[in-house]
């Protein structure tokens, strides 16, 4: 008994001490946790954002950067938000975040450089412009950004020859970089050479299997070649990473072509749940309702889609057919007129574009393309054609005049 | 051996739970201190984990979880067998043999049909399209044997016998519109003057133009034309005194769109000639599909002219329609509609008493998937018996027009046919050309192949060499060379004539060897010198040039004529 008492005495003495230690430890731990949760979480989100950015998952990058900025409103986070929005072609948000980055201490020369990249990327200045040359003095990371902006600028002004040349040199310099393959794949998508696009996207994925844009491009290229089962496999991989409306639309298209119309409908509905204003999903669902003779539902979806892209032939035509079948003949005729006009314009632009690809110096045909596009509401694309003309001939008066009329 | 003694067990006041690993009092004491410690530690850890997870989860889209739940159904198609293929591919048209298209074209064609069949919803589609394509591709030729071989063989046939008449292009009628596309030419005495006039439809600009024959044949060599009317996209014009007021009017078939579409923009427009030789546009029928042809005939035998309309439509639109004239007085224009047939693809219509029963009948040429000539024999007022008198061997045949003419001089009307439509897939086909159906009486016709002509668009029978029998002049429209691969368009004849050397025997001669850009032609002795002039329409669907003065009509004359 006494032994037991002897053993228990120090324990009884230690008890308040240990308790104090525990409390101190707890306080320290909680303090540490409170102190470190912000920077740690910021770092975590920021790293996630950079990873998404490198994988060209710009929507995911924006989400992660916004989360990071919520934990620490840093110049760094706003700079990368600006850069990501530049890639997403959102000039308003690009400018806003770049300004916020500067306000939070971003070096002005970095901001200027980013601004210049935005200008290059939008095709507003020619490659011969003296402001472009200094961009080439860049770190590896910026090398990619500069080349990316220049290639996109060349595509933007329909100078495909220059764009492809830049991509080739990029690929030679960095053979393991997936980006040049992705860009060339996008070019082949633009010219609708689907098997060539497929090959490029496959090369890109070999060099970077997490490149979601390459996988989406590959899925589209396969879909356009009517290889729906293969396309579906790629889309399902995209689902695992980030299921957005584009992925759901592609899945729906594949399922439709496999004859599974109800499953296609479910996919497009998922797409609209992710983005209620997704044009392709709206059009696809509207056409499905048209096929099923459900006119009111078709009208609702197609009218919403028309509001998003009023100059697109496909949606006007689908809407016109729906109106015709539902007995609104006069309204249908109005829509058919707009659809026929859009179709004729698109046919003319396609024929002229083919001609221009073979005769890149024919500025008058380029100007005709621009005029057709501008008269059919495609201001940005029309503007790009006009800028392309000025790159080839800075003194082209008509192009200059039209640009001045359009841009304030 | 003795077992070591165990310490004596402490008696417990109550039955303890079985097999406690630690003596109960010690465990209880530890629970009081260690348990609290673990409680706090675990709580703190849980808090940290929760905080971290919460922070990590910020910004992760909620839809990610949903993706896993989506069900991907497997395609449900039957096993491919030849009988099933034949059954499926004969539902809407004659069965197409694999050799009618080059291998690479089958994929596009079959997928297109699958889409048009509503992905199996509107037309049951039991076979996997990809497997069907593979079946066709395995059996299809890599290329159709066209290129220059078809034309060379045909040209060779003509070289054996030199032509008795040679034509030279002398004059052109110019358009002030960029890239015109001449869809129809009619020669008639429209203005009741001494000379003939030429009426021309420019399908691109929509202009209906009128030019005096003098302006085409005069010393100036070139002449402008006056625009007398305007519709959206005219396909055909018919010269007739519709209101029987002594003045020739124009009745125009308006497609409503330049490109092929299903819509309700088509119309029939009456250009009514007024006192001062101007033309007042009066829409007779609107909200139609694409109207390819209109003719007038007193089809119901009540003394006025009714309208016979070939509403081509496209895929789901299209009819043969009779508009019954119910006008009672000048200025009171009323027509009531009678739908006769609801097939798409009616491209040309003609009226006549074909079965010699005293009632007026109709003959309609269908293209699209039907590719046939169909009689509508009137059995009662607007009640017709349908008799198909001829069907092309397959749905890619591409009929473009017909003419009723007594080709063999046996006092009955034969049918002269062209097939050369390239607007389905822009492929030059070896089976494009000219044939005639020899009337053997009792509504029976014997098809006779005349010659291959890629892009054959119009053939007209006329005594070109003044030897008393009917020869044939034909023109071709081959789409822009960029769409026909490595085959250069200049390899193909644009204008030919077939000289009838013996009854029913023809020898081919080329007139225009290198510009197949003619959708229509008309023949007349414009200068009344006993020799025929050929008026050939010009135009391209995908013209790049925007020259201000483009050719609308070419005039071909014989060398003996005055320039």
Render pLDDT for B328-351 as a digit per residue (tens, 0 to 9): 887 788 999 999 999 999 999 999
With CA atoms as reference, the chain A residue closest to B67 would be A239
Q: Give the residue among B2, A280, A258, B39 at the shortest CA–CA distance from A268.
A: A280
Vertex B153: Cα angle to B152 and B157 (nearest 5): 110
- On whether any CB of chain A is under 8 Å from the CB of B48, the answer is yes
Q: What is the Cα–Cα distance from A164 to A184, expressed in whole angstroms?
A: 7
Look up residue A201 and give its two tokens.
Answer: 């996207």
Provide the pLDDT confidence category of residue B482 given band limits of 50, 70 and 90: very low
Q: Which residues of A touch B126 (CB under 8 A)?
A: none
Strand B456-462, strand B471-476: pairing: antiparallel
* Least confident piece of the model among A86-100, B362-376, B463-477: A86-100
- On whether any CB of chain A is under 8 Å from the CB of B73, the answer is yes
Look up residue B558 and give its two tokens.
Answer: 């014989």
Q: What is the pLDDT of residue B48?
A: 59
Number of A–B residue contacts, CB under 8 Å: 137
Q: What is the Cα–Cα distance from B338 to B358, expressed in whole angstroms?
A: 21
Neighbours of A56 (CB within 10 A): 21
Residue-wise pLDDT tens digits, B492-507: 899 999 999 998 899 9
Residue-wise pLDDT tens digits, B405-449: 999 999 999 999 999 998 888 888 899 999 999 999 999 999 999
Helix, strand or coil, per DSSP, at residue B289: coil
Which burial class, exposed, middle or buried, applies to B43 when counting CB atoms under 10 A from its CB (0-12, 13-18, 19+)? Answer: exposed
With CA atoms as reference, the chain B residue closest to A22 would be B37
Cβ contacts of A103 within 8 Å, gap of 6 or more: none
Q: What is the Cα–Cα distance from A331 to A328, expressed in whole angstroms?
A: 6
Question: What value does the mean pLDDT take over residues B170-183?
Answer: 82
Q: What is the Cα–Cα distance from A61 to B184, expressed in whole angstroms?
A: 60
Q: Per the CB < 8 Å rule, is A340 touching B265?
A: yes
Where chain A has pLDDT below 50, the residues are 1-6
Q: Which residues of A touch B37 (CB under 8 A)?
A: 22
Q: Are A74 and A62 in contact (CB under 8 A)?
A: no
Q: Is the pLDDT of residue B110 over 70?
A: yes
φ/ψ of B230, rounded to 5, equals: -150, 125
Cβ contacts of B550 within 8 Å, gap of 6 or more: B174, B175, B177, B178, B179, B180, B538, B543
One DSSP character per residue, B528-543 reads: -SSS-EEEEE-B-TT-
Q: What is the Cα–Cα distance from B421 to B369, expressed in whole angstroms?
A: 12
The 8-class DSSP code of residue B140 comes to S
Spell out where B35-192 has E strands: 168-175, 182-188
Q: What is the Cα–Cα distance from A62 to A31, expressed in whole angstroms?
A: 31
Of A33, A270, A332, nearest to B51 by CB-CB distance is: A33
Question: What value does the mean pLDDT take over residues B17-31?
Answer: 40
Residue-wise pLDDT tens digits, B286-327: 999 999 999 999 999 999 999 999 999 999 999 999 999 999
Of A242, A260, A273, nearest to B75 by CB-CB distance is: A260
Give the DSSP H/E element, type plus range, for residue A180: helix A179-190
Q: Are B445 and B389 in contact (CB under 8 A)?
A: yes
Q: Per the CB < 8 Å rule, is B544 touching A70?
A: no
Q: What is the pLDDT of residue B113?
A: 94
Provide the pLDDT confidence category of residue B66 given band limits of 50, 70 and 90: very low
Q: What is the Cα–Cα distance from A281 to A251, expressed in whole angstroms?
A: 11
Q: Are B519 and B457 in contact (CB under 8 A)?
A: yes
With CA atoms as reference, the chain A residue closest to B61 would be A242
> Per residue in B67-105, is it b (16+ CB within 10 Å) or e — as a string?
beeeeeeeeebeeeeeeebeebbeeebbebeeebbbbeb
| Residue from B265, B316, B337, B484 to probe the interface with A (highest A Cβ count within 10 Å) | B265
Of A243, A260, A368, nearest to B67 by CB-CB distance is: A243
Q: Per the CB < 8 Å rule, is B263 touching A333?
A: yes
Q: Per the CB < 8 Å rule, is B70 touching A242?
A: no
Q: What is the pLDDT of residue B546?
A: 62
Provide the pLDDT confidence category of residue B563 given band limits of 50, 70 and 90: very low
Q: Is the pLDDT of residue B157 over 70?
A: no
Q: Per the CB < 8 Å rule, is B64 touching A243?
A: yes
Q: Which residues of B touch A36 (CB under 8 A)?
A: none
The share of chain B scoring above pLDDT 70, in percent, equals: 80
Q: What is the Cα–Cα distance from B72 to B450, expressed in whole angstroms?
A: 55
Strand B168-175, strand B222-223: pairing: parallel
Shortest CA gap A303–chain B (Å): 18
The residue count for chain A: 408
Helix, strand or coil, per DSSP, at residue B311: strand
Q: Are A228 and A240 in contact (CB under 8 A)?
A: no
Residue-wise pLDDT tens digits, A108-155: 988 998 999 998 888 888 777 888 877 777 666 677 888 889 898 888
Q: Are B324 and B301 in contact (CB under 8 A)?
A: no
pTM confidence score: 0.82
Q: What is the Cα–Cα distance from A295 to B117, expressed in whole angstroms?
A: 19
One DSSP character per residue, A68-85 reads: HHHH---HHHHHHHHHHH
Question: What value does the mean pLDDT take over residues B547-554?
Answer: 76
């Amino acid at each position: 008994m006494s032994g037991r008492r002897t053993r228990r005495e120090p324990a009884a003495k230690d008890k308040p001490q240990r308790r104090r230690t525990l409390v101190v430890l707890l306080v320290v731990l909680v303090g540490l946790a409170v102190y470190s949760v912000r920077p740690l979480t910021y770092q975590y989100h920021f790293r996630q954002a950079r990873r998404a950015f490198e994988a060209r998952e710009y929507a995911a990058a924006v989400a992660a950067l916004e989360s990071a900025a919520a934990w620490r409103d840093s110049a760094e986070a706003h700079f990368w938000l600006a850069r990501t929005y530049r890639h997403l072609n959102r000039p308003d948000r690009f400018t806003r975040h770049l300004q916020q980055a500067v306000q939070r201490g971003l070096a002005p020369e970095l901001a200027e450089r980013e601004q210049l990249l935005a200008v290059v990327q939008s095709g507003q200045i020619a490659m011969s412009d003296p402001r472009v040359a200094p961009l080439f003095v860049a770190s590896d990371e910026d090398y990619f950004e500069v080349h990316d902006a220049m290639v996109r600028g060349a595509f933007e002004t329909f100078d495909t020859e220059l764009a492809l040349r830049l991509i080739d040199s990029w690929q030679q310099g960095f053979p393991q970089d997936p980006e040049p393959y992705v860009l060339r794949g996008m070019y082949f998508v633009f010219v609708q050479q689907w098997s060539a696009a497929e090959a490029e996207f496959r090369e890109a994925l070999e060099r970077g299997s997490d490149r979601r844009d390459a996988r989406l491009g590959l899925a589209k290229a396969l879909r356009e070649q009517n290889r729906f089962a293969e396309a579906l496999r790629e889309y399902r991989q995209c689902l695992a990473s980030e299921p957005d409306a584009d992925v759901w639309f592609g899945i729906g298209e594949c399922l439709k072509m496999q004859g599974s119309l109800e499953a296609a409908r479910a996919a497009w509905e998922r797409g609209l749940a992710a983005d209620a204003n997704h044009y392709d999903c709206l059009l696809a669902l509207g056409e499905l309702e048209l096929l099923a003779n459900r006119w009111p539902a078709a009208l609702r979806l197609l009218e919403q889609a028309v509001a998003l892209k009023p100059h697109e032939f496909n949606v006007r035509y689908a809407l016109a057919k729906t109106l015709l079948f539902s007995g609104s003949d006069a309204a249908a005729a109005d829509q058919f007129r707009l659809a026929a006009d859009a179709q004729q314009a698109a046919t003319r632009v396609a024929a002229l574009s083919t001609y221009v690809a073979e005769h890149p110096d024919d500025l008058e045909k380029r100007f005709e393309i621009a005029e057709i596009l501008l008269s059919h509401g495609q201001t940005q694309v029309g503007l790009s054609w006009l800028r392309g003309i000025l790159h080839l001939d800075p003194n082209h008066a008509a192009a200059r005049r039209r640009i001045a009329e359009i841009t304030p | 051996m003795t077992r070591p003694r165990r310490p004596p067990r402490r008696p417990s006041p109550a039955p303890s739970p079985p097999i406690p690993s630690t003596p109960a009092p010690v465990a209880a004491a530890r629970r009081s201190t260690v348990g609290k410690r673990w409680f706090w530690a675990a709580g703190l850890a849980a808090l940290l984990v929760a905080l971290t997870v919460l922070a990590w989860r910020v910004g992760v889209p909620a839809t990610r979880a949903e993706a896993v739940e989506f069900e991907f159904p497997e395609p449900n198609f039957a096993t491919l067998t030849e009988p099933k293929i034949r059954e499926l591919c004969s539902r809407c048209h004659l069965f197409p043999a694999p050799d009618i298209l080059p291998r690479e074209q089958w994929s596009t064609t079959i997928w297109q049909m699958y889409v048009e069949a509503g992905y199996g919803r509107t037309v049951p589609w039991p076979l996997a399209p990809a497997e069907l394509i593979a079946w066709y591709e395995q059996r299809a030729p890599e290329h159709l044997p066209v290129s220059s071989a078809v034309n060379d063989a045909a040209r060779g046939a003509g070289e054996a016998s030199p032509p008795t008449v040679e034509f030279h292009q002398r004059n052109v009628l110019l358009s002030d519109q960029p890239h015109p596309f001449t869809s129809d030419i009619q020669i008639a005495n429209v203005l009741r003057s001494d000379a003939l006039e030429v009426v021309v439809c420019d399908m691109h600009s929509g202009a209906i133009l009128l030019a005096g024959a003098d302006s085409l044949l005069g010393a100036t060599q070139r002449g402008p034309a006056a625009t007398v009317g305007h519709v959206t996209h005219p396909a055909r014009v018919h010269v007739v005194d519709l209101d029987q007021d002594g003045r020739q009017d124009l009745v125009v078939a308006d497609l409503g769109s330049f490109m092929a579409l299903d819509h309700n923009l088509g119309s029939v427009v009456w250009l009514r000639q007024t006192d001062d030789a101007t033309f007042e546009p009066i829409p007779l029928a609107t909200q139609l599909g694409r109207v390819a042809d209109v003719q007038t005939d007193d089809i119901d035998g009540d003394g006025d002219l009714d309208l016979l309309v070939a509403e081509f439509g496209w895929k789901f639109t299209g009819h043969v329609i009779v508009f019954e004239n119910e006008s009672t007085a000048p200025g009171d224009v009323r027509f009531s509609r009678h739908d006769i047939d609801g097939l798409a693809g009616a491209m040309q219509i003609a009226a006549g008493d074909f079965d010699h029963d005293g009632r007026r009948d109709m003959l309609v040429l269908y293209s699209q998937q039907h590719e046939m000539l169909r009689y509508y024999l009137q059995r009662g007022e607007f009640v017709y018996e349908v008799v198909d008198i001829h069907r092309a061997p397959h749905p890619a045949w591409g009929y473009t027009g017909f003419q009723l003419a007594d080709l063999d001089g046996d006092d009955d009307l034969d049918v002269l046919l062209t097939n050369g439509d390239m607007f389905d897939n822009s492929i030059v086909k070896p089976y494009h050309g000219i044939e005639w159906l020899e009337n053997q009486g009792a509504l029976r016709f014997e098809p006779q192949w005349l010659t291959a002509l890629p892009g054959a668009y119009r053939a007209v029978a006329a005594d070109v060499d003044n030897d008393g029998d009917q020869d044939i002049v034909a023109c071709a429209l081959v789409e822009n060379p960029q769409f026909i691969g490595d085959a250069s368009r200049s390899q193909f004849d644009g204008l030919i004539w077939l000289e009838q050397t013996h009854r029913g025997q023809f020898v081919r001669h080329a007139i225009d060897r290198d510009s197949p850009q003619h959708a229509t032609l008309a023949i007349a002795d414009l200068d009344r010198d006993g020799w025929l002039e050929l008026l050939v329409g010009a135009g391209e669907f995908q013209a790049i040039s925007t020259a201000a003065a483009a050719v609308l009509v070419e005039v071909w004359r014989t060398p003996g004529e005055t320039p």
